[in-house]
């Protein structure tokens, strides 16, 4: 083998020995990358050895080329092993900077329905009404019979009510709480019953199979329809403003006599007529009336001594009017874009 070939092979051998010493001293990925460039880079040691091959005798080139390839493979493998080693045991960057202030938690807000319900309860509480609650799984007696609702009444139909085993059902209104309250309390009674109710309604823009109601009851001596009107007017003006007016329309409910539907003048247009009130100037709220004497018979109240009024309202209906929301389903879809507005 010629002198040039011997010189090349010696240089390859020396480079390998130098590389072994240098890689043993590498402690960081940055140092390892510099070593890789030194030996495997475009202008590194291995590339320099390959550039000397054309100067050798053709018969000497295969042996020299093989030695250079072995050096390249050795360096490549050693660098990969070192990289894995540094990755598992070498210095690591901190996961986080403990000196930085923490990320604050995002504080949620009360659901818009519950906000309106709280406001309704506060208004009636300020007028002396107590708050009573009852079970959502109710007996037929409290939900229908004790409210003077006959067995053939349409509200008892299977397509309207969720019936359970025995005489149990999901309450269709919170009026059963009125019966339960009168059973355990002698007059005077002045209470409201907020809560969730259930009916077999097909979900659409104005109906939902689950909804919230607030029922009210007042029983005492000499209670009149004028007292009912005064309470409803005071409530409407506290909720929507002093310019709101009310009106009562004759109606029928099995548990009140006389019965009425009551409306509020549209707070959006001041009663002049707009899209919200369908250009009538009025918004239908719910029903009310004087407690039917037959209901007093179920709770052992003397209808010759006591009179009373009852009223109800849908919380979703009030919330939709208050916030000009056109679809009741928005309250139940848990869309953060909608809920975050409240």
At 140-183, the pLDDT tens digits run: 999 999 999 888 777 777 678 899 998 899 999 999 999 999 99
What token pair was written down for 16? 């390998």
At residue 205, the pLDDT reads 84
At residue 158, the pLDDT reads 65
Beta-carbon contacts of 212 under 8 Å, excluding residues fewer than 6 positions away, are 113, 117, 194, 195, 196, 197, 314, 315, 316
Nearest Cα residue to 276 out of 115, 166, 314, 284: 284
At residue 88, the pLDDT reads 52
Burial 235-274 (b: 16+ CB within 10 A, else e): bbbbbbeeebebebeeeebbbbeebbbbbbbbbbeebeee
Element (H, E) at 215: strand 210-220
3-state helix, strand, coil in the chain (%, to 5): 45, 20, 40
pLDDT in tens, 305-319: 999 999 999 999 899
Sign of CA dihedral 192, 294, 219, 135: negative
At residue 310, the pLDDT reads 96
Which parts of the chain have pLDDT scores under 70?
1, 87-96, 158
Give the separation between CA 218 and CA 309, rounded to whole angstroms. 5
pTM over 0.85: no
At residue 341, the pLDDT reads 87
Ranges in the chain annotated CATH 3.30.930.10: 112-339
CATH number for the segment(s) 112-339: 3.30.930.10
Which CA distances in Å does 148 have to 211, 291, 292?
23, 10, 8
């Amino acid at each position: 083998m010629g002198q040039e070939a011997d010189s090349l092979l010696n240089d390859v051998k020396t480079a390998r020995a130098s590389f072994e010493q240098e890689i043993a001293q590498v402690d960081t990925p940055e140092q390892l990358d510099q070593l890789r460039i030194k030996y495997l880079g475009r202008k590194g040691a291995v590339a320099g050895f390959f550039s000397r091959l054309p100067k050798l005798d053709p018969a000497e080139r295969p042996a020299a080329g093989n030695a250079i390839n072995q050096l390249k493979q050795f360096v490549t493998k050693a660098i990969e092993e070192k990289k894995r080693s540094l990755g598992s045991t070498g210095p690591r960057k901190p996961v986080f900077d403990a000196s930085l202030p923490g990320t604050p938690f995002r504080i949620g807000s009360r659901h818009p329905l519950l906000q309106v319900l709280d406001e309704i309860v506060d208004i009636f509480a300020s007028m002396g009404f107590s708050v009573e609650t009852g079970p959502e799984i109710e007996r037929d007696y409290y939900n229908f019979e004790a409210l003077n609702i006959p067995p053939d009444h349409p509200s008892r139909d299977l397509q309207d009510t969720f019936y359970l085993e025995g005489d149990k059902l999901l309450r269709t209104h919170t009026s059963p709480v009125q019966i339960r309250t009168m059973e355990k309390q002698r007059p005077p009674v002045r209470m409201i019953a907020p809560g969730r109710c259930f009916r077999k309604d097909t979900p659409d823009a104005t109906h939902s199979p689950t909804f919230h109601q607030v029922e009210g009851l007042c029983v005492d001596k000499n209670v009149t329809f004028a007292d009912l009107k005064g309470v409803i007017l005071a409530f409407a003006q506290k909720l929507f403003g002093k310019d709101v007016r009310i009106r009562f329309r004759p109606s029928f409910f099995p548990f009140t006599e006389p019965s009425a539907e009551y409306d509020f003048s549209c707070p959006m247009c001041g009663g002049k007529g707009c899209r919200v009130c369908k250009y009538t100037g009025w918004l239908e709220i719910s029903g009310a009336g004087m407690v039917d004497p037959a209901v007093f018979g179920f709770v052992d109240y003397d209808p010759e001594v006591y009179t009373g009024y009852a009223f109800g309202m849908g919380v979703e209906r009030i919330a939709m009017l208050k916030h000009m929301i056109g679809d009741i389903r928005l309250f139940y879809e848990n869309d953060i874009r909608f809920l975050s507005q409240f």
